[in-house]
Amino acid sequence: MAKARLDRIRAMLESAFEPLELDVRDDSHLHAGHAGAKEGKGHFHVHIVSDRFENTTRIDRHRMIFEALSEMMATDIHALSVSASGPSSNQTSGN
């Protein structure tokens, strides 16, 4: 089920933002026993770079992502950590 959730999150974000970079990670195993885990929902981290985030505030980028994933927020996602930027403000580690 975890792989299906990751694939669905990735597909929804790709459709909404046509990202230049996208990494979706399932961190649910780090939160075993938390309320969301007991409900069957997961904890995820998203790193995304998209032209659609250019000249937007951090809060607006987060709102856009939560809106794109709204259906899953209600059914599959308990917590979502987000790192989002436009290409001109993306700071990569060089790896």
| CATH architecture type of domain 2-85 | 2-Layer Sandwich (3.30)
pTM: 0.84
Give the DSSP H/E element, type plus range, for residue 2: helix 2-17
Task: Give the mean pLDDT of 71-89.
Answer: 93
Q: Give pLDDT tens digits for 21-76.
A: 999 999 886 656 665 555 668 889 999 999 999 999 999 999 999 999 999 999 99
Helix axes 2-17, 58-68, angle to 10 degrees: 120
pLDDT (0 to 100) of residue 41: 81
* Mean pLDDT score, 69-86: 94
Q: How confident is the model at residue 89 (pLDDT cuts 50, 70, 90)?
A: confident
Domain residue limits, the chain: 2-85
